[in-house]
Structure 1
């Protein structure tokens, strides 16, 4: 679907904004009520029916990789992060501080992440006992990667995130 391009704003971000804002796609991708995040309902169906109209592929994983490259964060809801699930939560929720409904002017502030990883103070597995290195995560454990933001965070933020998730999982399992 063609749309006017904005100078200096990556095509991916422009397309994403138009897809989320398009009322015709509201059954599969839509803004949150506050307009500060968006939901993708039925990701497999979204990939089949929407992605191919806007991008050169219908691969949801590639779409998510692009979101991550531009600093979007997946918001996990308690039931999605639990080991027990009722299976009714077939949606993904994403946010970015500069991606807002009715704020096209903010898109130019969103920058693609630098492909090189800064080494100012990396967190290693020796500093945080019993945590697997990213390279040792098996495909079946890949859902765990979404629990920690992919951007560069401090050791304290990493530990806090992990502790919050562990607490939420424990609470969910007691129900």
Structure 2
């Protein structure tokens, strides 16, 4: 197997464990605190990797990096809040709607063209996610599902902002 495939599988495993741990601790710790410590741990790991590889901090594009950081933090808070309120599988499905929003936002903000096939598939994917999550089964569920969709939109904004010059 290639290293990329192994790293992708390892990454999925680590994120699955993280999500399960977030679900577990969310009954006693607010989601904003969980997001803060997850961000802090990630920051320390990246700083250590930069130090090990002797990579200097960039002095360019600070405002865009701040915007990306704020959007990423809001994404994490919304995602962890969703995990704390609805079943983990449903929260994960909602978070994985971000590619749909990446496509839509790239067409709006980056002026990229959406092919006919993609335009046809997007509504089908969204309807499929709705069928899996069933947001209308519970009276208060739709609010939490909305926050989950918002987290997917924030993640898409981070991804789009990352490629914007």
Q: TM-score, normalised by structure 1?
A: 0.25
**More strand per residue:** 1
Q: Using CA pairs below 8 Å that are at least 6 residues apart, which structure has the higher relative contact order?
A: 2
Q: TM-score, normalised by structure 2?
A: 0.26
